[in-house]
Amino acid sequence: MTERDFRFISSDRFFEEYWGKKALYLPNAFPGFSSPISAEELAGLACEDSVESRIVLEKGTPAWQVKHGSFSEKIFSQLPESHWSLMVQAVNLWHPEVNELLEHFNFLPRHYLDDIMVSYAAIQGSVGPHFDYYDVFILQGSGSRLWQLGEFCTKDSPLLEDADMAILKQFKRREEYRLYPGDMLYIPMQQSHWCTAIEAGLSYSIGYRAPSLNEFINRWIEHCSQVLDESIRLPMDDLKNASPTYVPESFIDQLQRRLKKLAENRSLIASAFAEMTSEKKYPDEESTEGVCYSVKELKSLLAHSTCLRQREEARFVWYCIHNKVTAYCNGQQFDFDQGYERLVSLVFDHRRIDKRELIAHSDDPVALDFLTKLVNCGALYFE
């Protein structure tokens, strides 16, 4: 993040003062912004079976109604003139120009990116007062919306009982902003908010979501089970008990020490985290793979192509522990010796990889094998 990217603030100041703490309003953050997707294109995506979408209607019985896609084209002609919103998830996976917006957010860890949700709201369209378990940047694409921000909430905050969605029963406004095209608003996780369309138009929600600790522990346990076998048993050292049904504290202490030893294994922690955060948002969707290049064929393609590009749906994470480089792409693990940090960073950090940057690795069989596997699994493609 630079002063040029989002005017008036640096990344250091953003993290120190705002991230996870309070909202930030950035007027004209994207000067002259023109929405890369139209309302008609968005509606078209909502008609696709593979795309997650929903329509929220405010006036009805119950007061807030949700319809889930995919939709037929006919439904859009049946909607009222006001008080409804269409929301389409992960538009960045289906629309390359929307995906390019992420280049402005490279100051954030990409493995926490959830998606870019795009919404169209008719006049007075709203999804009601609510809060989310993710941090979000709201970029106004067209029209205008009024954003009211309230208190921070918890899982115990009271909700309406007769709504199809999680609508707060009470909402106390603390801040208010009206967003026009190019304006942006950062809202931290769990801060309540209520948005209403003043003018019909599009809005982009760039969301960042950390996995829950429960999700991570479950994945970590899976990784722990891979290094344990049936010969590693629970302790049976202290069997002298006054009662045959009593579990002594000494047993609990021994068991705790064994679990602590597992928790001190940094490689297990890193691999569990990297695997889960590198998995695709929609892992059940058909892969874009379909090529099966040999290393020799790939080397020839590198020589005659302009660049390699990352697929929109591909996810990349890597780390270095004990002088070993471990990389994950879409949940698949790749291991390297020390010295391959530059190659992995080059391939994983850049959505467009100029072939001139890869020249230094063109005669390295390890690098070529790595690139071949990424192309064949559909994570990279030649432009």
Same domain, 53 and 138: yes
Distance CA(204)–CA(137), nearest Å, equals 8
236 assigned to some structural domain: yes
Q: Do both 225 and 312 map to the same domain?
A: no
Does 229 reside within a domain?
A: yes
> Within a domain: residue 191?
yes
Other beta carbons within 10 angstroms of residue 214's beta carbon come to 8
Residue 204, Cβ neighbours under 10 Å: how many? 24
The answer on 136 and 218 residing in a single domain is no
- Does residue 1 have a pLDDT over 90? no
Q: Which domain holds residue 348?
A: 295-382
Shared domain check, 233 and 144? no
pLDDT at 285: 65
Query: Which of 240, 31, 210 is CA-nearest to residue 135?
Result: 210
Q: 69 in helix, strand or coil?
A: coil
Provide the whole-model pTM: 0.90
Q: Are residues 219 and 341 in the same domain?
A: no
Number of residues in the chain: 383
d(CA 116, CA 312): 11
Identify whether residues 88 and 131 lie together within a single domain: yes
201 and 55 in a common domain: yes
Q: How many CB atoms sit inside 10 A of residue 11's CB?
A: 16
Assess if residue 4 is contained within a domain.
no
Do 58 and 154 share a domain, yes or no?
A: yes
- Count of structural domains, the chain: 3
Co-location of 201 and 227 in the same domain: no
User: Three-state SS for 78?
Assistant: helix
The answer to whether the CB of 163 falls within 8 A of the CB of 64 is yes
User: What is the spatial distance between Cα 284 and Cα 282, in angstroms, rounded to a whole number?
Assistant: 6
Helix pair 295-304, 365-376: axis angle to 10 deg: 90
Q: What is the pLDDT of residues 78-94, one digit of tens each?
A: 999 999 999 999 999 99
Same domain, 178 and 248: no
Same-domain pairing of 57 and 185: yes
Q: At 113, which CATH number?
A: 2.60.120.650
Task: Give the Cα separation of 316 and 279 in Å (integer).
Answer: 8
Q: Across the chain, which distance is largest between two alpha carbons, in Å?
A: 79
Three-state secondary-structure class, residue 99: helix
Residue at 260 is within a domain: yes
Q: Name, in order, each residue with C-beta under 8 angstroms of 2's C-beta and a sequence gap of 6 or more.
A: 10, 11
Q: Rounded CA gap, 219 and 230, in Å?
A: 20
Per-residue model confidence as pLDDT tens digits over 325-371: 999 999 999 999 989 999 999 999 999 998 888 888 888 999 999 99
Read off the pLDDT of residues 126-156 as tens digits, 9 standing for 90 and up.
999 999 999 999 999 999 999 999 999 999 9
- The answer to whether residue 2 scores a pLDDT higher than 60 is no
Please, which pLDDT band fits residue 288 given cuts at 50, 70 and 90? Answer: low
Same domain as 223, residue 200:
no
